[in-house]
Amino acid sequence: MRLQITAPTKEDLFREALGGLMQILYPQKAIPVTLKQPVYVKSADSTALLVDFLNEALQLAQSNKEIYTRVKFLKFSDKEIEAILEGYKVEKFIENIKAVTYHEANVHLNKHGEWETALVLDI
């Protein structure tokens, strides 16, 4: 599965990518428990950082049966993220995503001055 993400800022690109990933998991039966999950990711560049951030969120979501609807960045740079993922518990996911791949991923500014990347999911 392939996603094309575009956003006005790099932080918004990361938010939109997380939102798209969580929607594809297709969570079922929300449990009314609000949660906050800390995340720290360090990578070589912005593209690797996005892929690594999404894979960390995916691993946390699947192992804890959680869906993340918001992200609050405490630290955001080209190579490092410290954030709080906010969301809720779910009973199950309909879709099983194995990983976000590096294939086609390329975080960059497009000709319209917006941040964009393609993301390929291993399903």
Q: What is the DSSP string of 33-95?
A: EEEEEEEEEE-SSHHHHHHHHHHHHHHHHHHHTEEEEEEEEEEE-SSEEEEEEEEEEEEEESS
What is the reported pLDDT for 108? 98
- Residue ranges of the chain with per-residue pLDDT less than 70: none
What is the reported pLDDT for 13? 98
What is the reported pLDDT for 59? 98
CATH number, domain 2-122, options 3.55.10.10, 3.20.20.105, 3.30.360.10, 3.10.28.10: 3.55.10.10
What is the reported pLDDT for 33? 81
Q: What are the structural domain ranges in the chain?
A: 2-122
What is the reported pLDDT for 120? 98
